[in-house]
Amino acid sequence: YTWGMKHIKEGDEIVLTIAEHHSNILPWQMVAEAKGAKLKYVYLDENFRLSMKDFEEKMSDRVKLVAVQHMSNVLGIINPVEEITQIAHKYGAKVLVDGAQSVPHMKVDLQKINCDFFAFSGHKMLGPMGIGVLYIKEDLLDEVPPFLRGGEMIDEVYEEYSTFAPPPLKFEAGTPNVEGAYVLISAIDYLERIGLENIYEHEAKLLEYGLEKINTLEYVKTYGPMDSKDRGGIISFNVEGVHPHDVATILDEEGIAVRSGHHCCQPLMRYLGVPATVRASFYLYNDFDDIDALVEALKKVRKWFR
């Protein structure tokens, strides 16, 4: 955000995707409004995947930033962020990748992706709420102003101005969330002991099984690619004639935890033509029995609302 406020000017463009989480839309709306820049959105193809054709058509020398999610928290699609970065850099644009959904579920190689900024949160990877990580390329650290100002991030304070400590200290104003950082490190160590490749492989099997089972229910519509290739362990769906909140309530009574609503992705919901969906998310602690229980519970939903 502060990089954008400093470097984006009137007439510049920021490219996003229609599937972004609100947290990767609102900051850029603020920058665009403050600087007189323009937001451009990349849409999906007929298979619910990011249209690279549309992306290339949206790119030009006016684009200064591309902000894209690595994995969709609604559709589960894994975007080709390495290719996106290569194309964006040809036009001189910087790239921010939202890795909140990908980092907990798969091995991520930032050197290979070569993006300029990469962000993820702790609470999606068995860590605590209230803490996250922002990676900034080393040669950009001096170009990013501090977001907050307070104790511990200064070098010298004078009556009229202040100088800041070198990175990363200049980004860490005030008392740090020491407990959160310690627990996040512990969560990362735990996941690495299991192996993120193993987690991804496990979830891929669950996803394939889940898609096969849920798609046998003719009254359930799923959203996302029909295959499990380049897709995370997420299935979003709706039950015909039943509001997603009602579906989630009944599933909860059956001991099944799902999420219902717009999932902080209202532009995507409008694009899909629905107000909300139900989302089943798989992780390392789930198994095939959980999916069988979900399918049986969905049959009960259908029975109760017929």
Q: Which residues are catalytic?
A: 264
CB atoms within 10 A of CB 185: 12
Point out which residues pair with 69 in neighbouring strands.
Answer: 98
Phi, psi for residue 50 in degrees, rounded to 5: -60, 130
Rounded to whole angstroms, how far apart are CA atoms 60 and 188?
38
Long-range contacts, stretch 140-145, CB < 8 angstroms, 24+ apart:
140/3, 140/94, 140/116, 141/167, 141/168, 142/167, 143/3, 143/6, 143/7, 144/2, 144/3, 144/6, 144/171, 145/2, 145/3, 145/5, 145/6
Residue 105 and residue 203 in contact, taking contact as beta carbons nearer than 8 Å:
yes
Closest CA to 221 of 246, 248, 251, 242: 242
**Amino acid at the residue 183:** V
Q: What is the dihedral of CA 9, 10, 13, 17, to 10 degrees?
A: 90
| Residue 109, C-beta contacts closer than 8 angstroms, at least 6 positions apart | none
